[in-house]
Structure 1
Amino acid sequence: MMAFRLRGRPAHSPGPAYLSYTPNGDKIVTVGMNNAIRIFQTGSDEEPITLDNCSGENTAVVATDDFFLVGNDDGTVSKYDFKANSLGTPLIRLSLPVRDISLSPDGIWAAIASDEIAVKVIRINDTSKVLHLRDHMKPIKHVSFDTSGTVLAASCSDGSIYFYSLSSEQPQLVKKVDGLIKALDNEAEASSKVVWHPAGGSFGTPVAGRDFQVTARGDWSEISTFKDGHSTDISAAAWSPNGALLVTTSIDKKLILWDTKELKILKTYDPARETILAMHWHPTKNILTYTNNDGELYIHEEFVPQEFLSFLKKGTHRMVNGHAPDSPSKDSMANGMTNGARGRSASMDSLDEILGLDGNSQAGADDFIVDDDGAGYAEAEMNGNGKRTNGHLPSTVGHSKKYRSTGSFKPDTHESFQPGSTPWRGNRRYLCLNLIGFVWTVDQGDYHTVTVEFQDRGFHRDFHFTDPFLYDKACLNENGTLFACPPRADEPAQVFYRPHETWTTRTDWRTQLPKGESVTAIALSDSYVTVTTSTGYVRVYTLFGVPFRIYRQKASPAVTCAAWRDYVLTIGNGAVGADGRSQLVYTLENVKRDEIHQSSDIVALSPGATLQSVFFSDQGDPHIYDSTGTLLVLSHWRTPGQARWIPLLDTRLLDRLATGKKDESYWPVAVAQDRFHCIILKGGDKHPYFPRPLLTDFAFQVPIASTARKDPDEMETDTPAASTHEQSYLLNNILSSLLSDLIDSTHSTAAQRLQLTQLETESDKALLQLLMVECLQGEERGMKCLEIAGLLNDRSGKMLPAAQKVAQRYGREILSEKIGELAEQRLMAEREGERLPLGE
């Protein structure tokens, strides 16, 4: 049987010619020196369709199943529709000749290299959306999207490869690789193009030594090199569709077929008639097609000899270190395992999706969260941590004989979670959300890509990196970013800290946990790194990686942790309550002084609620947010045994939800400047998604009473005005108590002492306003009015006289006398050095 049948066709005038297959393999599009475009039908001997209305010499072509793009030496890039077969539509005009075009895998974005310095990435159906890549200093010869469409490799004429991340609104330079490719003029026949491996995780390039090297994308190290095949520079290379074979050709016209597992030559073909410039495999058939520098198109049918056909029938081959493709590589261990438990296959990551654009227009700011992938995140049976609740199980409350006779009893424990982290949705998730910025990751199959974006980009510059360790937890503050990854195969769990900047050279550090130990939660403060683990240990490190403390947590299994300055709050599952659930208990300590402030105290959650987040405020007070939408603060936490959880806000009682028309919930982010900062989730969503959501803040509103009266005839005991003043008094009382504790336990500043005075004054003002409301209700409110007067702090000595004036204004003379007597009692007590309790 004939090994292959060579078919040469004069497609264009003598000179450089280029081609592109459609992804389905039905058509081949060629361009060249003349002003014609040829469209060949695969497997057909008929004459190709010719479009001869181009303006000049075409220098690049790339095709999808529906359309193709052609670049011209006059700087024009045009779009042609296969169905129309007519004059193309100009996509973009550049000032210098186009050299190469690459399409994102979804066919929505095109990267264009030209003799201009900048590379332009343009959205095909909306040409107003253009990204500019400018970190290189010389023109780019080749561009190539990776298999996910989020990274673009740009081979520069200066001999460097620039890898740009397109997974954020502004392109970021991920890596500059020097010394790998040869410095080539843009018109040179030799190639320096990055050829991404079909399995992802690695890429191949012709190198200066006339070999073809494969490099790992994760750590940018050499995986393997196809050596001693060519005596001149390589002009083109192509992987077989499954990556098991490689074909290379060089300026000396030699064509070589390689075995990518053994790195050996399978067959060397007779030299081609002219130098091959572009080469492509058919996506499903044993056909290799190429064009040369004489304007000819060649089609090699049955290109791979019969004895090697088994290579094409294998599954997708992976290029790995040590040339052992049957074992997992450093970048591909666990094949995309996340959270240390479940595997996720690689999925297409659209640049269009990342930038928040749909098929026609940019997504609006008000509808950025949509359950568009049908993943079920809006279901009612999901708790605040993205986990399925036990609502589908029969109740264990009561004395059911059936329940008692089931034998062994297993309590319902709270699962561990990382504050500020969201579960996977599609192939992406947030690792951290706070007022400093966002940390999010994209699953690329064998590796992840991590992006850190800051709310204030004048504070620090965003950065982006390839993550071969598959980090599943992160913390971000003003000093640095902390990451943790689960154990994989023979590699232990790791913790990685990256400071934003130091007064010396920035020093990242990484530490490994003992084998068999995984990370359950991490926390980062201005002073320490805290890690809770599956073995019950709490590990504390300094910011430069020195182990500082290690102890076993009393409550197990661990749930989460938070940190602020020298303080660490750890939460775990404690004793089983009456409802069959483990009660959450917390321990709060100063790790620097080795002092425990609260030990194994209960986290106060409402019945059936789960903990959704825990964090410290900007003043250093611990806060929790539960699945009922309630925000609570821990007061008097510095005094052992005196701490208690106080509600600051019940989001279900917000005025914006009073009409019942809004279907929304809130994702907690932080407490700062006495306000609750959160993300509004619409349409039943439980977690934020992309594009990056906006932050909203709400004032505290202690849940004391409804502001609406259902019965118009009921006594106005709690009028809206009274409720407002009561709310203000109680809230200011809580805030002043928190600040007073801070001042008493630290070296207070003048600003803090002034703020405390202002809070106490605001509390007294609220009481005076409440006194006015009560005086208006009639003489029968006299006892309550005197009680309100007794609640005044009156540190300035002016509030009780003011209360007397209020009573006199409304004709309450007896009340005025009683308030005067109260003022005298307080004055006498102060002189005696003893102040009477309020109200006596």
Structure 2
Amino acid sequence: MPYHTGDDGFNSVGFSPDGKFLYVGNDAGIVRLYENFDDFHPNSNSLSTFDANRITSIATTNQYWLSTSTDGILRRYNQFSDSSPEHIWSSSLAATCVATSKGGWVAVASEGPDIMLVNLYDIQETKKLQGHRGNVRKLSWHPHKNLLASCGADGKLLVWDTAAHRSEPLTDVAMLLPSIADHESLAYKYDCSAVWHPSGDCFFVATSTRTIVKVDSSSWKSTTLFIPPQNPVTALAVSPNGAYLAIASNHQVSILDVVKKNVIATHTNPDEDPSKKPCITQIAFQPNANALVWVTTIGTFTRLTDVVPGKYPSPFEKIQVREPEPPVQNDVADLLQQIDAANAVDNEGEQKEVEDEEKGDDTGEVSDAEDEPSLVQVTSLQEHFQPGETPLSQNKKYLAINKIGYIERTEVPGLDSSMESHHIIDVKFFDESKRRRIHFTDEVGYTLGYLGERGILLAANSKIETEPAQVLFRPYLDMNASEEWTYQLNPGCSIVGIASGALAPRGSTKNMSDGDLDGRILGMGGQFVSMVASHEWVFVVHGPASSVDGSQNLSYTLINFEDFSVRQRDLLPLGENVQLKWIGITEEGAPAIFDSVGRIHVLTKYRIPHHASWARIFDSELLERKQGKHESYWPIAIFGSTLLCVILKGNDTHPSHPLPPPQELPIEMPFTSENKAEEKVAREHLLLEILRDGLDDQLTNDEIVKTEQNMDKDLVLLIQSACKLSQIPRAIELAKLIHNARFLDAVLKIAQFYRFEGLEEKIRALKAIREAEEDQRLIIAREKRAQWTRPDPLVRGLADVSYAAPQTKTFQHSEPPPTISRPGLALAVPVKETTRFPASSSSMPPPPLPSDSTSSENKRKRDEVDDFASSQDSVLPPPKQKVNPFARKNGVDTNRNPFGVKGGANRTTIQKSDSFFDKVETAEDAPKSTAKRGPKPKDKKKEGPKQTTLFGMMMDKKEKARVADSETQDSDVSMSDFSVVADESQPELPEEWEETQPVDMVETQPVMQES
């Protein structure tokens, strides 16, 4: 049931630690103490004290309660006595806020950047903290440690370690708070305190982007906890047990479940007049009850009970958390399960409950996932950003800063609570002679910006889920509305990054919609981080949701605009606990990155597919100007060997408003050598590679020629230094890097001066090579570039099916393969001859053809070529084949004795022919002729050699006859087993017949007889 005191000008509220007393201050300098929470009428309550001026803040301890007012005095009151207040601190300016710690310290701030710490038990002990540039708006202490969080009007949120002897803040959390310069504005009255969780592990804060984030106290990294659907957040309060968060938005209060991240209840004060539009400026949970109290801008005070519905756990009772079971290290399955559970944590730190929702509702137990032990430390992915984007500071924010200029968005608050704030977009250029300044009122609410080569790109996400997000492009030259175009996304989609690399042809209309086919939607792996574009490609950085090795594990993808092909893809060179701060494009067109430790890397060989590598060219920690200084650098652009940046002093993390003049820093590669000339040569060589890769069909250009000449001059100086130290191998290696042959003449003079004849000889040979290759060096380099960028050849066409063999399936035919005739490997088969000379090849049987195991249906048809070949073969005579007389004949059993007796036949004896042998014996017995032969006539032509056997050569007639007789009787069986019967029709031979003369013989048929 809500209660309120009416329009009494209340503006601050506070409970005692035990929740028994409530202190409420008003604009009249009155602090009222309430002990009976059932009656809040002013006449029924005691008047505690009067202050001279308006109360601004109230803080309590177990023994005291303190108040600050506009007279600049911090007063301390004893809670258990009516004694006069004690002034423990005073200032000439109005005191704005006060906070107490459990360690006995009180922090107080006035309308200024300083914070004063006073010991409550010894007010003479004080400390002064300095770090803000504007007024300090709110202060809050860590529940258990000596850590103090301060929120300033400059948008900074600083955390101080008061126990350490240091005047600088412990950390500067990324710019989360809005920067407000007008102290009388409505937004300045909002409670922007960092609300600590009772455990002290984190705190909650409302950001300038109308979101609620949770900042981890161990790493000081912020993650989004909740995004209110409407209106800005004006105050926050956490429940005593840390389970719920009260979110005030104008005159409405929402109760958020911190673990489940959902709103469980919403409350308003029905007695308040909605027409007055009261805005809640401070809210607090009662430590010992389910109740809330708050004050508004119209001076009303409200206490609301039963803020947390009965089905949920109480907001003030201690939460019972089930103790996690210790992991069993020897159980591999349980160990892997715990690792998977740790990897399941998303980038916003969402934890899973130990018990399900139904069990928690019935038993009132809530799981605190942050207390669960983890085997690995999960590193969340860093927040996505636009290159050159800064947080909101002093109602201003840079949407983009690059070498062209910057986009500045200014938030203009409404004149009163009935008017909403609006924004102004101002685009300024460093060279206004080329581009005109752009200034217009933003009625859409653009939050993202990008400065491209042809125009500006702006994007805005819708505050209502049913409305689409949109992108606006406005060219530089034509600023009229007819040339700009917009693109709307589907409802429910949000824009996290934009980039502009090219412009549509002049005169064309580009009204992009969901049905337009002007582009392509590419799916990226991982979560988006940032991107930047040139006129050729877009450089996209993305990464996993989380990692377990302490590094971001970010990847990049270089996508070509022409055909949307991926030119390069690899990891970013970021080490452990290092984040990406900036990405951009150098003047030469190479992608570059800047990390949180001040290092710059440039991507080389990015035009050659899969050949890119990161080269470190800058390390801010090694700069000479930084030695002894506490400064950092905000990169804007890279021009050759020059870094254009904004120098940030002290703990500043981003440029202030207005933008300081950019300064130029020389880029030096972090070499360990103290020789600056070596570093310059290496840097120029890297620059030459990038410039040469950018050439298309050109052989060279003026910039490359100039860079080569400067590099050759430096090389000559290094060679001279090497010769002075007698380092001949070093001089030779340096001479090989010289591009122009005319610079080798200077090297020859150096070698002659130091009388290095060997070096002189090698330089002359190198010069000859340079002069010979001078005309072809650039041409070869161009051909090499064209080879890397040459498109892949077209796919080969399919073969003509008319000449292709039919495709058969595996295991389609089960017939054995056809036999192949190999006469040389066949077994020998004996053949009976009537003469000692073998038969001619023409009389031998032809070799058997291979058997065809396939049917005629499976045979392929002969084509025209086969038919033509067949016709030619039928006309030409077949070639003469050589037949091995000892080859095996088909159909003959090799295991059977050819001279054996057939089964079932009569055994007969082969009779010897008498006519032939009788004539031979008669001729041998005849008397030899003693008449000498006369000489042969000289004119008689010499006849060719006569045919004979190897045994018949170089033998007389008797020897020939003896050998012939032995050949006829040679056999592997005895002659007694068979005999040969000669045919009587054999012709008779004349007396002058010789064995070498051929004669037609009639083959006799063997007749087998039994012996």
TM-score interval, normalised by the smaller of the two chains? 0.3 to 0.5
**Could you say which structure has the larger radius of gyration?**
2
TM-score normalised per structure 2? 0.38
TM-score normalised per structure 1? 0.45
| Bigger relative CO (Cα 8 Å, ≥ 6 apart) | 1
Q: Which has the higher strand share?
A: 1
